[in-house]
């Protein structure tokens, strides 16, 4: 009998110990939390990463002739069109070369005319046997040599004209000139490789970014349906700088990083993108229709995976495991676990356990 009473006492103590935490939790003060309802909405499917802005084209403008840099015709930071004058190299030495070539050509033409007359006379004499065949051949060779000299004179003159053209440096593309790299009065040489200025095309402008190689099939499938929109954001990832389209995917995956490089193009009419600038790039592959969404702050990560706290009508919080499809830092798309209309806790989760009593207040917009 005594043994039965002892066993009953031990069992009662064990049950009491097991239920004490639950009793204490139920009896404790309610935890103040903020909640927001899960909603259905259309959500863009985004891939995100940091990108670098680069000019669509960049040209280092160098001299193609030797000489003194006479004039700088551009203002630093000026927008130019293809063919606009940028600088002038002293063209006088090349004008002199042109004059010499043309004078030599005129002299050779005079000699050629005389040689052709001599050839005609020699040919008439040869037909009457008053001149030998050798004399005729010699005269024909003299005419041919003078014609070759004239061709050489014309080539020298053309080269001089080309150097005169090169002494007037023009922009090869539409773009914006950078800082001047050589001042007027300096001697420049074609062999030095010293640029006078750079011209960068920033309308349109490009952004280069990378994404994991696993996303390549998704991107290719989406590109098959049409152009994909791309957005460029500032460092805060909230300020939209420009919108454009995906231009192309690189032709190889980087084996060292397991990423694929992509290039997007932006009209950049307001110059908010600048070469060398770092931007947060968002590539939109499509749109999820009527997706269940919650604020990103509602989703918690634990040892067993992702979960949210649901605010029950009886004033308690319940842990609910969820599967998340995507999260842009503000809105999380829930694949399974909750339904539209469920109130989820977005602030105050650190003090909650499954079944905790709560006092719920709606979360303020933007919190």
The residue among 251 and 10 whose pLDDT is bigger is 251
Task: Name 300's Cβ contacts closer than 8 Å, sequence gap at least 6.
Answer: 306, 307, 308, 309, 349
Which pLDDT does position 126 carry in this prediction? Answer: 67
Q: Residues 131-155: pLDDT tens digits? A: 677 876 788 888 899 899 999 999 9
pLDDT above 60: residue 59: yes
Task: Please state the rounded mean pLDDT for residues 58-63.
Answer: 95
Q: Where in the chain is the domain with CATH 2.40.30.170?
A: 46-56+200-287
**Band of pLDDT at residue 99, cut at 50, 70 and 90:** very high
Please determine, for residue 12, whether its predicted confidence score (pLDDT) is greater than 70.
no
pLDDT at 354 over 80: yes
- Pick the more confident residue, 23 or 167: 167
Average pLDDT of span 67-75? 95
pLDDT digits (tens, 9 = 90+) for 240-267: 999 999 999 999 999 999 999 999 999 9
For residues 130 and 343, the model is more confident at 343
Looking at 1.10.287, 1.10.1790, 3.30.70, 1.10.12, the CATH number of the domain 91-166 comes to 1.10.287
Q: In the chain, which residues fall in CATH 1.10.287?
A: 91-166
| Tens digits of residue pLDDT in 280-299 | 999 999 999 999 999 999 99
- How high is the mean pLDDT of the chain? 88
- The whole-angstrom separation of Cα 319 and Cα 327 is 20
Residue 270 neighbours by CB under 8 Å, 6+ apart:
242
Using DSSP bridges, classify how beta strands 31-37 and 358-362 pair: parallel, antiparallel or unpaired. Answer: parallel
- pLDDT above 90 covers a percentage of the chain that reads 72
Could you tell me the CA-to-CA distances from 125 to 119, 122, 187, 213 in Å, in that order? 10, 5, 60, 87
Name the percent of the chain lying above pLDDT 70: 90
Residues 6 or more apart whose CB falls under 8 angstroms from that of 121 comprise: none
Domain 30-43+290-362 has CATH 1.10.3720.10: no
The per-residue pLDDT for 10 is 43
Q: How many Cα neighbours within 13 Å face the side chain of 143?
A: 16
Cβ count near 158 (within 10 Å): 12
Q: 3.40.50.720, 2.40.30.170, 3.30.70.20, 3.30.70.1400: which CATH number matches 46-56+200-287? A: 2.40.30.170
pLDDT at 120 over 90: no
Give the whole-angstrom CA distance, residue 150 versus residue 112: 9
* CATH 2.40.420.20 segments of the chain: 30-43+290-362
Residue 309, C-beta contacts closer than 8 angstroms, at least 6 positions apart:
33, 298, 300, 317, 318, 319, 320, 344, 345, 349, 352
């Amino acid at each position: 009998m005594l043994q039965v009473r002892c066993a009953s006492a031990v069992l009662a103590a064990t049950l009491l110990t097991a239920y004490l935490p639950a009793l204490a939790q139920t009896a404790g003060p309610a935890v103040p939390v903020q909640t927001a309802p899960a909603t259905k909405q259309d959500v863009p499917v985004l891939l995100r990463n940091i990108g670098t802005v680069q000019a669509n084209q960049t040209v280092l403008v160098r001299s193609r002739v030797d000489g003194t840099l006479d004039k700088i015709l551009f203002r630093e930071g000026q927008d130019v069109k293809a063919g606009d004058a940028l600088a002038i190299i002293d063209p006088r030495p090349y004008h002199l070369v042109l004059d010499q070539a043309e004078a030599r050509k005129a002299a050779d033409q005079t000699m050629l005319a005389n040689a052709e007359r001599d050839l005609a006379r020699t040919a008439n004499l040869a037909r009457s046997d008053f001149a030998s065949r050798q004399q005729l051949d010699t005269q024909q060779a003299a005419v041919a040599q003078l014609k070759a000299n004239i061709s050489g004179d014309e080539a020298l003159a053309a080269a001089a004209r080309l150097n005169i053209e090169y002494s007037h440096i023009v922009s090869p593309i539409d773009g914006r000139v950078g800082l001047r790299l050589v001042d007027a009065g300096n001697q420049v040489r074609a062999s030095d490789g010293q640029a006078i200025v750079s011209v960068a095309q920033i309308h349109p402008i490009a952004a280069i970014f990378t994404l994991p190689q696993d996303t390549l099939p998704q991107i290719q499938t989406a590109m098959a349906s049409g152009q994909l929109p791309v957005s460029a954001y500032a460092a805060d990832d909230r300020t939209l700088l420009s919108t454009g389209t995906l231009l192309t995917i690189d032709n190889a995956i980087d084996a060292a990083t397991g990423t694929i490089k992509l290039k997007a193009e932006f009209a950049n009419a307001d110059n908010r993108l600048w070469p060398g600038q770092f931007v947060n790039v968002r590539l939109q592959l499509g749109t999820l229709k009527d997706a269940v969404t919650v604020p990103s702050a509602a989703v918690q990560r634990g040892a067993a995976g992702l979960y949210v706290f649901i605010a029950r009508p009886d004033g308690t919080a319940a842990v609910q495991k969820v599967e998340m499809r995507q999260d842009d830092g503000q809105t999380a798309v829930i694949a399974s676990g909750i339904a539209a209309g469920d109130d989820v806790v977005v602030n105050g989760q650190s003090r909650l356990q499954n079944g905790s009593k709560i006092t719920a207040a709606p979360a303020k917009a933007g919190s």
